[in-house]
Amino acid sequence: MSKRYIYRLVAFLLLLTGAGNAVYAQQAVTIKGRVVDAASKEGIPGVTIIDIKNKKGLGVTDPTGRFTITVEPEKMIQFRYIGYRLETVKAVAGAAMNIGLVPENKALKETVIIGYQKRTKETASGSAAVIDGKALQDVPVSNIQELLQGKVAGLNIQNNSGAPGFRGTMSVRGVSQLDVSGSGDNAYLTSNNPLLVIDNVPVDFDGGISQSMLQPGAATGPLALIPPEDVESIVVMKDAQATALYGSRGANGVIVITTKRGNSPTPIIDITSSVFVNLPPSLRPTIGGNAERRYRISSILANSLDDREARMKLSDPNSQFLTDSLNPFYNNSTDWQGLFYQTTLNSNNNIQVSGGSQKMNYKANFAYQKNQGVLKNTGFNKYSLNMQLNMQPSKKLRIGAQLFSALGQKQRGNGGGLTNNGAGNSFTSSLMPGPSTFVGNPQLSGYENNIDDNNTLNIRGFVDVDYEIINGLRINSTTSYDYYTDTRDRFNQSFSNNNVTGLYGFVGRHDELNTRNGVNYSYSSRPTDIEKSHNIYASVFSEINIKSDDQHVRDVRNGPNDYYWGPRGYSPRFYPGNPWNNKDEVNVNGTPVSYAYHAASWAGFFSYNYRTKYVLDLSYRLDGNSSAGINNPYTKNPSIGLRWNFNKENLMRRLDWLDYGSVRVTYGINSRPTSTILNSLGAYNTVKSYNNGISINPNFSVLANPNMEPEKSSQFNFGVDLGLFRGRLEVIYDTYYKNNYNLVRDIKLPNATGYDKMQVNGGAIVNYGHELSLTVRPVVNKNPKGFQWTFSVNGAYNQGVLTELPGGSQLFINVDENTWQSTALKVGRNPQSNYMYETVGIYQSNDQVPVDPIRGVRYKAFKGPGNQYFQAGDPIWKDLNGDYALDNADYVIMGNPEPLVTGGLNNTVSYQNFSLNINCTYLAKRSILNNAIAARIYRLQFPERLSLDGGTAQGPINLYDINQINYWKQAGINATHPAIVGSFQHDAAVAPNRLDQSLYQEDGSYFKINQITLAYQFRDFDFMKRLKLRVLRAYVTAYNVGIFSKYTGPNPETVTSLGRDDINGYPNASSFTFGIGAQF
């Protein structure tokens, strides 16, 4: 839309220059003609023809590029079409007009919105990558974020949950946070979310979601609600100059989404409709039925210390499912995995009506998607309506308004959390009977019968007014309001909820008011030709942001029966903190989140360029917010950028192989408010009965830090853009050095202070790296119907280094008391590393185990008393301190859960009416902890049980097909894994298959085929004319086609941001789509 702004300016200027011509009122004549591509001579459909004097649309070309208009002769008429230079000609009566439109050099003339300012890419010094909305069309995904994967170098997206309506992780140029929430397989890094700006309105990335793993609400964010069909473009801003004007929230990068606008004098109706099938992933091989029983019983007999222990295990009432094999109840071979998964048929529909002229244009987009997940009772339905109206009553005044409303309805089965995990751990022994009327599996029954309605209602409106006071000086004002209601109503039948019914209600409201008022001024010393003049653009604006969020939960259990949803209300039995009913702290009644946040900012921007050749950008933004420490309320975000378009130098102009070339250098500082008001100001509680009265005391859990500052990042960026060989090769290279500092960390306080901890600014992470995007057009055919081939590849190398911890500390260990897979934060290394034992092999015999020469015993697995000696079949763990005992001192800092290289490939081939698009993503060098396998092997120590409750790796014991693992069976065989069970006693003491060892740390590199789309464009068919169809297109898409990896777990992508593969993860489904797009 910014392009139109320039067109408008140009048109306006042309109008001014031609204003002196005498115009005679003449009789209107009918003119026929054809608009073609100047290069290919192919007709261009949909070209808008405008009477530039009257600013009136005259018509559009038909699918073959022909037009018929009625106009007064000698009028100046203009032909405009996106991607082509404007062509203005004088209307001549009689002769047929043949107009050739010259394609524009897109890469440079593209406009991007940087810091709320429209800029042509040519004069922007920041690093910003543009994704055309067309690249996001052919897959009906539930969250548009999935489609951005692999499209921009340096934007790392991992779709680690396939649950419809949820989203994966996203980070721009590496991680910038150190905090970890959750534990075990659910340990996640706190979010590195960029700032999201939709149609110039900054919105919260996660909408009404607060960053908590135990997600109480519906967990549907704005990216899940925007229909991809409505997206005109997405700009990803990576460096400090591009993000500087977004101030306090731009430190993680900025993603700007622009939705489509009306741009046609005649109304256009676009209809996109598709049906798609979601297919469950291939299931894991398991041992079932008699094979399972035999394995379990033989394991008990072989691994018990003596017959007595074996008899004890077999005669336990809980192992009846093993021993009572003649009982039909236990004589099954149930395919539990198969019962949880399903294939679903879904549809996606979108209607867009748009049209209008310069003076007034409109757009309405209605979208509906039904997306049922591959796990039973999960899915996401969304409805959205986006309406936009732009008016220009006079040349000086522009008004735009938009109203976006969406409803997301989510079913979550029995899952929870931010990624809807839950099913993977639900597969119990195959010996148990499958579901029927009388018996069932609590987990499955949860997926089948639980009611879990999650509704997210989002309404976002904005009004944008822009007025030109004097020539070049405009004032503008934008006000937006974004409102979310998140509700969750869940009813668990008692069978699936520990024999008590569960009634859970959640209401969350999140609203955000944002208003921005500013003045901007543009000046050009030669307005007719900016390529020969001094050009200045300056603007000043202020921004106010007010946010509030309230969430309420009521959780009532133990209702009268499975069919009565009540009584609703506050449950006195299950209030948090009740020592009788909240021993595991599962009671969540109350108000988990309630806050109001105010921020005020002032920003100035100055851009100067000489002949669009030398560009200087300066910006400065001052941010204050209510959660900063009172001694440091404002943060300053300055930035500077330089750009040199060296192809405009005389020397370079002569190089005909150089289309364009430029060098960009930027530096700037951004910030991110992380502190909360509780940590910067402290909290106070009312205390009963102090000195016989009620008093107000400090809350001793956190000591206020009034000097708290927002987290900051400073970033240096150097970039080169090159266009070579007449569009055959485009190169964008960026290198950056980004220092995230002032990271907020907890420091524990000595108990003499009376307080537990304080939050301080102390951590720092540096990310540096290189990004390269190449677009190659090996075959460019003059004839658009001929064979065309475009190939683009992008890659980003990012290295993160932890450079500081508070108090000058070198090391911080984040102990995980569930899996013992702790993380280490060590200065000088990658920000997060695993802290585990290093497995270097398997002992082939007892004699291989090192012997303590002083004590005459073998190396053992425990430092204290006892005889946990290693034996043949155990893993060889390095004894670093040489004390012949495995303990904390033998933990090794290893691995890096952050990928070193990420990127994507895109390949488009077209011939005649067919086009084929293949989209791939790759990732290299990332450590994944294969807990999916490790936990299952670990649990095989307990073959007599149905599930392991409590402790490490708890969950049902089902039999992974262990023959697929090369485990140690006897001496002399080269095995990669330790003996599955040495003996029960030995395993309990030594835990050879413990999770905290490097054996399960694998390389998570992968290559993924995201999407293959084959499309057919209907052209020049008679029926299209009869039906007044302007465009008709049919396509078939396969999505999530395949993933290639050496990783032995289920999927290297569906792992947490810390690289833990959770067996409970929601798998990424493949889908096949057939769709039709039509334009009337």
Which helix (DSSP H) or strand (DSSP E) does residue 599 occupy?
strand 590-610
Instruction: Tell me how far CA of residue 519 lies from CA of 6, 115, 438, 465, 863, in angstroms.
Output: 18, 14, 72, 12, 70
Which C-beta is closer to another protein: that of 537 or that of 891?
891
Q: Which is nearer to another protein, 808 or 950 (CB)?
A: 808
Question: Residue 663 Cβ, how far from another protein at the closest point, in Å?
Answer: 6
Q: Which is nearer to another protein, 981 or 990 (CB)?
A: 990
CB of 770 to another protein, least distance (A): 7
Nearer to another protein, 95 or 651 (CB): 651
Nearest Cα to Cα of residue 917 among 139, 5, 11: 139
Residue of 890, 898, 944, 996 that binds another protein (CB under 8 A): 890
734 and 126 in contact (C-beta within 8 Å)? no
Size of the site for another protein (CB under 8 A): 51
325 phi-psi bin (left φ>0, alpha ψ -120 to 50, beta other): alpha
The minimum distance between CB 721 and another protein, in angstroms, equals 13
Which part of the chain contacts another protein (CB under 8 A), choosing from 61-69, 557-565, 642-650, 1059-1067? 642-650
Q: Which is nearer to another protein, 555 or 721 (CB)?
A: 721
650 binds another protein (CB under 8 A): yes
Single out the segment in contact with another protein by CB under 8 A; choices: 250-258, 430-438, 449-457, 764-772.
764-772
CB 14 within 8 A of CB 48: no
Q: Closest approach of Cβ 651 to another protein, in Å?
A: 5
Give the list of residues 6+ apart from residue 270 with CB closer than 8 angstroms, or none: 229, 350, 351, 352, 353, 354, 1077, 1078, 1079, 1080
Q: Binding mask 64-93 vs another protein (x if CB under 8 A, - otherwise)?
A: ------------------------------
Beta strands in 432-530 (DSSP E): 451-470, 473-492, 502-524
Which residue in 483, 608, 718, 789 binds another protein (CB under 8 A)? Answer: 718
Please, which residues bridge with residue 30 across strands? 70
Minimum Å distance from CB 781 to another protein? 34
Q: Which is nearer to another protein, 48 or 717 (CB)?
A: 717
Smallest separation, CB 610 to another protein (Å): 16
- As a whole number of angstroms, the distance between CA 475 and CA 517 comes to 8
Does residue 762 contact residue 743 with C-beta atoms inside 8 Å?
A: yes
Q: How far is the CB of 829 from another protein (least distance, A)?
A: 5
Sign of CA dihedral 577, 582, 585, 588: negative
Nearer CB in complex with another protein: 393/866: 866
Please state the closest distance from residue 182 (CB atom) to another protein, in A. 22
* Residues 468/396, Cβ–Cβ less than 8 Å: yes
The token duo for 1056 is 């947490």
Candidate ranges 419-427, 558-566, 707-715, 805-813; the one touching another protein (CB under 8 A) = 805-813
CA distance 397 to 1031: 34
Give the nearest distance from C-beta 19 to another protein in angstroms: 41
Cα distance between residue 470 and residue 467, in whole Å? 9
Phi, psi angles (nearest 5°) of residue 343: -105, 135
Ranges within 845-884 binding another protein (CB under 8 A): 846-847, 849, 851-858, 863-867, 869, 880-883
- Using alpha carbons, select from 289, 370, 377, 287 the residue that is nearest to residue 341: 377
For residues 539 and 256, give the distance between their C-alpha atoms in angstroms, rounded to a whole number: 20
- Beta carbons of 321 and 431 less than 8 angstroms apart: yes
Nearest residue (CB) to another protein, 885 versus 948: 885
In angstroms, give the least distance from the CB of 308 to another protein.
Answer: 16
Smallest distance from another protein to CB 855, Å: 4
Task: Tell which positions 734-763 bind another protein, by CB under 8 A.
Answer: 735, 737
Residue selected from 214, 889, 973, 988 as contacting another protein according to rule CB under 8 A: 889
Question: In this complex, which beta carbon is closest to another protein, that of residue 225 or of residue 893?
Answer: 893
Nearer to another protein, 984 or 1035 (CB): 984
To the nearest whole angstrom, how small is the minimum distance from the Cβ of residue 849 to another protein?
7
* Two structure tokens written together for 1070: 């493949």
Question: Closest separation between CB of residue 898 and another protein, Å?
Answer: 16
Alpha-carbon gap, residue 762 to 771, rounded angstroms: 29
Of 17 and 881, the one with the shorter C-beta distance to another protein is 881
Can residue 663 be called a binding residue for another protein (CB under 8 A)?
yes
> C-beta of 852: minimal distance to another protein in Å?
7
Least Å distance, CB 804 to another protein, is: 8
CB closer to another protein out of 927 and 1071 = 927
Measured from the CB atom, the residue of 290 and 845 that comes closer to another protein is 845
Taking the C-alpha atoms of residue 4 and residue 78, their distance in angstroms, rounded to an integer, is 13
CB-side exposure of 409: number of CA atoms within 13 Å? 12
Q: Output 233 or 927, the one with its CB closest to another protein.
A: 927
Query: 151, 130, 132, 133: which is closest to 1011 by C-alpha?
Result: 151
Binding mask 810-849 for another protein (x = CB under 8 A): xx-x----------x-xxxx----------------xx-x
Residue 129: exposed, middle, or buried by beta-carbon count in 10 A (0-12, 13-18, 19+)? Answer: buried
Select the residue interacting with another protein from 405, 522, 803, 954 (CB under 8 A).
803
State the residue for tokens 């999935």: 146
Can you spell out the DSSP letters for 487-514?
EEEEEE-GGGTTTS-EEEEEEEEEEEEE
In whole angstroms, the minimum distance from the beta carbon of 802 to another protein comes to: 9
Q: What is the distance, to the nearest Å, from the Cα of residue 351 to the centroid of all Cα atoms in its chain?
A: 26
Residue 650 C-beta: closest distance to another protein, Å: 7
SS3 1065: coil
- Closer to another protein at the Cβ: 864 or 951? 864
Distance CA 254, CA 174 (A): 14
Residue in 22, 25, 326, 651 binding another protein, rule: CB under 8 A: 651
Q: What are the C-alpha distances in Å from 579 to residues 552, 586, 686, 701, 950? A: 22, 11, 21, 20, 20
768 binds another protein (CB under 8 A): yes
Strands 757-779 and 702-703: parallel
C-beta of 553 vs 805, nearer to another protein? 805
Residue 29 sits in the site that holds another protein (CB under 8 A): no
Q: How far is the CB of 868 from another protein (least distance, A)?
A: 9
Q: According to CB under 8 A, which residues from 535 to 594 bind another protein?
A: none
Q: Residue 138: left if φ>0, alpha if ψ -120 to 50, beta else—which one?
A: alpha
Q: Is 577 exposed, middle or buried (0-12, 13-18, 19+ CB in 10 A)?
A: exposed
Residue 401 or 724: the one with the smaller Cβ distance to another protein is 724
Using the minimum distance from each CB to another protein, give the nearer residue, 20 or 864.
864
User: Does the footprint of another protein cover residue 646 (CB under 8 A)?
Assistant: yes
Residue ranges of alpha helices (H) inside 327-375 are 336-340
Span interacting with another protein, options 379-387, 399-407, 691-699, 797-805, rule CB under 8 A: 797-805
Which residues make up the interface to another protein (CB under 8 A)?
Answer: 644, 646, 649-651, 663, 718, 720, 735, 737, 766, 768, 770, 801, 803-804, 810-811, 813, 824, 826-829, 846-847, 849, 851-858, 863-867, 869, 880-883, 885, 887-891
